[in-house]
Structure 1
Amino acid sequence: MKNMDTCQSSDIAQQYERTAVQRIGTSKLRSYVTLIRPYQWIKNGLVLAPVLFAGKITNGRLFLESVAAALMFCATASLGYVLNDWIDRKQDAQHPTKCNRPIPSGELGLTDILLLGALLLSVIFFFSFNFLPNLKLSLCLFTYIIMTLAYSLGLKKVPCLEIFLIAFFFVLRVLAGGFATGIRISNWLFSTVFFLALLITIAKRKSEILTLGPGAVNHRKSLAQYSLPFLNHFLWAMACVSLVTYALYTVENGHNLVYSILPATYGVIRFLMLTENGKGGDPILTLIKDPHLVISTMVFLALVCYKIYVA
């Protein structure tokens, strides 16, 4: 009887250990996923912009090349997030929400970061060497990696320059889509994406100041050089310029794309309103969570696809 009790206790202990290990494994996997920010991969949809607006997204080969390039940028962007979070772990620990991220919260350590970084590098090399042996695309990706590294190591502390660098990262995604498929990028499309990226980045900086208040400088050094009036002027200027350049692009492109200006304008105005209320700190989450932005984006894409591929 005593032996049976001992065996049962041992079984219970082993089961508890297995459950604990499973929970730790699940928790660590969740931390890995959180760290690489898969919801931010929406940005890499810009890689598909050239083939979409060129009316060639139904071309199987070009579509697959665009998707492969987008996946490559997803892995590259995630690698940048991992590096940036490790460098900023002390500053993020003072942020009201970023302190919950896997690195500043202590959920992941240096060994975990190195393993994840190696995995992401493997994915990048796999796509770059096997799917897309393209010199221009490789140069574009290399530029993105080097500029991301430079940004994380110090350029993000330089006022104005850090805003332009982030906008440049958006433009590189569009260029990558063009290089992957051999499609020429319209000057108006290039300009629209650049100005829209400036708008999004400025909105993020404004929201950081509104949310963090006097402690904003402790989180991001460059915020010390920005005033709300300056950011407001910059924000509205970029909103106007991005809409005008897109309008000019629709006129140049034809296909009656001019009607897509309506949902685009509504989306920009809605985003400005949310930013004014301090909700533009993470533009992608704002886009996902706000039903007005989701609907206006869907209507915009539906109009673009209909006018280019159906009408």
Structure 2
Amino acid sequence: MTETAPLAGTGAAARTREPALHEQRTPSRATGTPPPDRGLLRGLLRTARPKQWVKNVLVIAAPAAAGQLFTTRALTQLALVFTLFTACAAAVYLINDARDAEADRAHPTKRHRPVAAGQVPVPVAYAVGGALAVLAPAAAAWLSTPLVAALLTAYLGMQLAYCVSLKHVLVVDLVVVTTGFLMRAMVGGLALGIPLSRWFLITTGFGALFMVSAKRYSEAVQMAGKAGATRALLTEYTTGYLRFVWQLAAGVAVLGYCLWALEEGGLPHTSVLPWRQLSVVAFVLAILRYAVFADRGTAGEPEDVVLSDRALALIGLVWLAMYGLAVANW
């Protein structure tokens, strides 16, 4: 009996240590922390800014305006260019965050970005961004048209130049961001060989400038008198100037849309109501509603403004319905 007691104790101790050893071997299950590779993939995805992908829906703008949206070829090509434009935008975000990692670590909000926080190593961000920047235009040249590949290459070059230096140049920074929106609206038409009308380009371009300058104005208003502005260039703009820009852009966008509606409305049509002219009302209301947020200094990301305001979203849906009826000539 006395000889078996230590053995029993040893067995009990071994049994009590076994779960502890098992827990040490599988820390991810015990703590709920994801494995490093999953954390890296999530970090890359966050750096690609999924919330910003909604902007790329603009690729359907030209085909929708021409009434050539619902065909097999159109849907296939638009899905392709949406994916390729998203890849190009992700490449720019990755390279930009890798380049600004040190500065972002000192920022109260940007320090939480995956690259700045160390979730995505800087070399990995550069490598993935560079790979996407090369593969997206190459895929466009192979699967779409040379014009689409050229536009994506121009977009990448312009956006990377913006990350390096153009974002520090007055007015040019507004033009570059606006041109990015305009390129999104153009690429669908180029993929399908649809001619782009002057009114389409004017309305889309100045509508984009309206939203971009309204966002800059809101940032300037919110950061007035505070240290560590989100953009160094904001200290060189005045709120009065930015207000002038978004008001001018809104006016030109409305004028361009009205001229388009009146010009096309003079042509023979068989629709029950003049939907093209009536869509002007919804378009102007949308601009005026958006201007409320711009004037308050709360017009941040355009997609956040639209999705967070039910009235603006409803007006947008009404405009979309009228526009669709006008294109379909119903």
Same fold (TM over 0.5): yes
Question: Partner residue of 1:120?
Answer: 132
The reply to whether residue 131 of structure 1 matches residue 143 of structure 2 is yes
* Overall identity of the aligned pairs, in %: 26
Cα deviations by residue, 1:79-110 (Å, 9 ceiling, x for unpaired): 11222222233444454433332223333221
- 1:288 maps to a residue whose letter is L
SS of residue paired to 2:70: coil
Superposed, 1:167-246 pairs within 5 Å as 167-215=178-226, 218-246=229-257
Question: Partner residue of 2:19?
Answer: 8
Please tell me whether the aligned partners of residues 195 and 242 of structure 1 are also in contact (alpha carbons under 8 angstroms): yes
Change (3 A) 1:263 1:92: farther
Please tell me whether the aligned partners of residues 148 and 191 of structure 2 are also in contact (alpha carbons under 8 angstroms): yes
Larger radius of gyration: 2
TM superposition shift of 1:126: 6.5
Question: Partner residue of 2:52?
Answer: 40
TM superposition shift of 1:24: 5.0
Please tell me whether the aligned partners of residues 94 and 219 of structure 1 are also in contact (alpha carbons under 8 angstroms): no
Equivalent in 31, 34, 37 of residue 22 of structure 1: 34
Q: RMSD between aligned alpha carbons? A: 2.3
Superposed, 1:42-191 pairs within 5 Å as 42-117=54-129, 120-121=132-133, 124=136, 127-132=139-144, 134-191=145-202
- 1:269 maps to a residue whose letter is L
SS of residue paired to 2:26: helix
Question: Partner residue of 1:269?
Answer: 288
- 2:317 maps to a residue whose letter is M
Q: List runs of 5+ in structure 2 lacking aligned partners.
A: 1-11, 270-274
Q: Distance in 1 between matches of 2:91 and 2:180?
A: 14
- Compute the TM-score of the two structures, normalised by the length of structure 2: 0.85
Q: Distance in 1 between matches of 2:190 and 2:244?
A: 35
Work out which structure has the larger RCO, using CA pairs closer than 8 Å and 6 or more positions apart in sequence. 1
- 1:77 maps to a residue whose letter is A
Change (3 A) 1:286 1:104: farther
Q: Which deviates more, 70-79 or 291-300?
A: 291-300
Question: Partner residue of 1:305?
Answer: 324
TM superposition shift of 1:23: 5.9
Please tell me whether the aligned partners of residues 166 and 201 of structure 1 are also in contact (alpha carbons under 8 angstroms): yes
Q: Distance in 2 between matches of 1:262 and 1:100?
A: 42
Aligned residues: 310
TM superposition shift of 1:212: 1.8
- Compute the TM-score of the two structures, normalised by the length of structure 1: 0.90
Q: Distance in 2 between matches of 1:155 and 1:217?
A: 20
Cα deviations by residue, 1:205-260 (Å, 9 ceiling, x for unpaired): 11111122234675323223211111111111111111111121223344732222
Please tell me whether the aligned partners of residues 192 and 245 of structure 1 are also in contact (alpha carbons under 8 angstroms): yes
- 2:110 maps to a residue whose letter is K
Please tell me whether the aligned partners of residues 159 and 223 of structure 1 are also in contact (alpha carbons under 8 angstroms): no
TM superposition shift of 1:156: 0.7
Q: List runs of 5+ in structure 1 lacking aligned partners.
A: none
Q: Which deviates more, 144-153 or 218-227?
A: 218-227
